[in-house]
Amino acid sequence: MLRTLDTFAGRVIALSAILGTLGLIGEVVVILIDVAGRYFGSPLRGAQDLTQMGMVVLVFGGMALCDRQGGHIAVDLFERKMPDWMIRLTDLLAAATGALIFSGIAWQMWKSAAISRMLNLATNIIYLPKAWFQYYIVVCCIITAVGMLLRVVSLLMGGPIRRSEGHQS
Amino acid sequence: MSELAIGIIGMASLFVLLGFRIPVAFSMFVVGFLGIAAMRGFNVAVNYLASEPFTLGASAELVVVPLFILMGNVATETGMSRRLYDAAYAIIGSVRGGLASATIIGCGGFAALSGSSVASALTMGRVSLGEMERFGYDNRLSTGSVAAGGTLGILIPPSTGFVIYAILTQESIGRLFLAGVLPGLLLLAMFVLTIILMCWIWPEMGPAGPRTTLTEKMRAMIGAVPILSVIVVTIGGIYTGIFSPTEASAVGAGLIIAIGLISRTLTLRVFWNAAKSSVTTTATVMLILIAAHMIIPFLALTHIPQQLGAFLSGLDVPPLVVLGLILFCYLILGCFLEGFAMLVLTMPIFFPVIQQLGLDPIWFGVLVVLTLEMGLISPPVGVNVFIVKSLVPHVTLGTIFRGVVPFWIAMMVTLGLLVAFPQIALYLPNTMIN
């Protein structure tokens, strides 16, 4: 059951990362067209709006995959001194905390999106409705939170723990 | 309970959570949220949950992060970054210690394509360590030069360290990028000088490499021209005001992709993997920034930064002594904390102090980023040292750490020069056009 759920979550997370990656490619294209257009005297209308909302798509699209790949930076100074049970406990705590945080963001973003819809809030130039992107954040945060919850369940059932292999900087 | 007491409890809790391996972003989020809730009520704290993620997530200024990461990833995946090393190798490889110097120059060139120190050490280490081993280089010199050279990644622009500093302190990303150029080149020169000195004192450490013909030299240099052009266009574009940093990042990424396509080293799969990896790295950085914006208002409410600033300003010592104390804190913290974590955790506390003392924030940013670099090769955490270790498992960690000592000293000298002569950092941003 857990394996089926995990496989399903993996696919949804991959889909969300694909959206994020498309967001990144979109950013490159939009800014390049804008720069080239400005050179010829006709910048892309709404480039700023597209860049901002593209950023939302790419940042939140990558959150779930980042977590699944263990990409969050943690201080592993005492890790070598910690027994396996403690590593499991801290992994559990981290996953549960993350799930709570992303659920909280999703819940608040949902309420914020409702207000944006009510007030017809949109971007400045080409009037992209803010609510669309807020709902996108809600979905991505839920996917991330579910991924973390699944890891909580997996750790409780004796699943593998994470030992750090290094950071990025 | 007083505001100060709540602040101290909050900071203590933060360090406990970090010690228990709770990711930096989550720890800051929890402490910031609970702190604001304790001081201003649950509803105020809850409001930050929606506002901060959206505001930062939709920041057009931060697009430089994924785009420069993409640029570096594509350069790495297609092997383009190797060409810089090849050019330096062909020119100076045949002199004593030349391969180590070529590694440093290659790292410097790669740093101008990527904001990541780890990527620099990994990429250059892969191509240069085997070569230095083949020519009988002392392991301390070969591993030390790769670990130290990699640190140039966060000083020479584009640098994610500068972007994060800029967002936390509301300074200009473009000015910070330009401020990193001359100190980055100075540090690169100091590293090369260190190698020359080491090989002069102990000639057996870095024997001369193979001689190359003029044709080989020319071919290697021509191979590096496209990459050098990208560097000149992006950094030069920011300096001359032709591009904003955001535009420069897109132009740089676009050019690297175009070079990869023309040279047929960039396939769709390679590009997709580079882009996906850029997205997840961006998510890591952005979550930390979002969390930092939860803890910054909490710290402001506790008045800890102001009280610390008042205390330090009240000391009967010149501002440079206070600056020295702050940098000393960074050097110590750098031994234990990851660079980004250290930056986001300390900046809300130290930056107001720097402002109160009237010190230049751009200059301070360069000094801080340099100390972050030193943390990358300082025991026991020294991330770059572990990266090098993963490439040469037969060399002990002790040997690598001994190997970085001369480079660490070179960084201290550079830090001293930057403190003594702020113009090294400030000249370019002050003469920047537009």
Q: DSSP characters for chain A?
A: -HHHHHHHHHHHHHHHHHHHHHHHHHHHHHHHHHHHHHHTT-PPTTHHHHHHHHHHHHHHHHHHHHHHTT-S----TTGGGS-HHHHHHHHHHHHHHHHHHHHHHHHHHHHHHHHHHHTT-B-TTT--BHHHHHHHHHHHHHHHHHHHHHHHHHHHTTPPP--------
Which of B21, B250, B272 comes nearest A94 by C-beta? B21
Q: Which of residues 102-161 of B touch A (CB under 8 A)?
A: 116-119, 154, 160-161
Residues in chain B with CB shorter than 8 Å from the CB of A75 are 18-19, 21, 24, 336-338, 341
Task: Determine what percent of chain A is predicted with pLDDT higher than 90.
Answer: 76
Does A169 score more than 50 pLDDT?
no
Note the pLDDT of residue A2: 78
Residue B23, H or E segment: none
Note the pLDDT of residue B16: 92
Residue A17's nearest CA partner among A48, A49, A63, A51 is A63
Note the pLDDT of residue B344: 87
Q: Is some CB atom of chain B closer than 8 A to the CB atom of A163?
A: no
Does A167 score more than 50 pLDDT?
no
Cα–Cα separations (whole angstroms), residue B192 to B31, B104, B106, B186: 44, 7, 12, 10
CA distance A55 to A35: 18
Residues linked to residue A129 through DSSP beta bridges, in sequence order: A122
Residues in chain A with CB shorter than 8 Å from the CB of B50 are 105, 108-109, 111-112, 134
Q: Is some CB atom of chain A closer than 8 A to the CB atom of B49?
A: yes
Does A163 score more than 80 pLDDT?
no
Residues linked to residue A122 through DSSP beta bridges, in sequence order: A129
Note the pLDDT of residue A53: 97
Does A166 score more than 80 pLDDT?
no
Give the pLDDT means over successive 10-residue stretches in chain B (434 positions).
Answer: 90 91 92 95 90 91 91 87 86 91 91 79 84 90 94 88 91 93 96 96 90 90 90 90 90 94 93 94 91 89 84 84 92 80 86 90 96 86 83 89 95 96 95 71
Residues in chain B with CB shorter than 8 Å from the CB of A102 are none
Note the pLDDT of residue A168: 39
Residue with tokens 């930064």: B305
Q: Which of residues 162-221 of B touch A (CB under 8 A)?
A: none
Q: Nearest CA to CA, how far is A15 from chain B (Å)?
A: 11
CA distance B188 to B180: 12
- Contact at CB, A90 and B20, closer than 8 angstroms: yes
CA distance B206 to B198: 8
Q: Nearest CA to CA, how far is A4 from chain B (Å)?
A: 24
CA distance B288 to B339: 12
SS3 for B214?
helix
| Beta carbons within 8 Å of B42's beta carbon, 6+ residues apart | none
CA-nearest residue to A133 within chain B is: B54
Q: Which of residues 42-81 of A touch B (CB under 8 A)?
A: 48, 51-56, 58-63, 65-66, 69, 71-79
Mean pLDDT of chain A: 91
What the block records as the tokens of B199 is 């090989």
Q: Is some CB atom of chain B closer than 8 A to the CB atom of A137?
A: yes
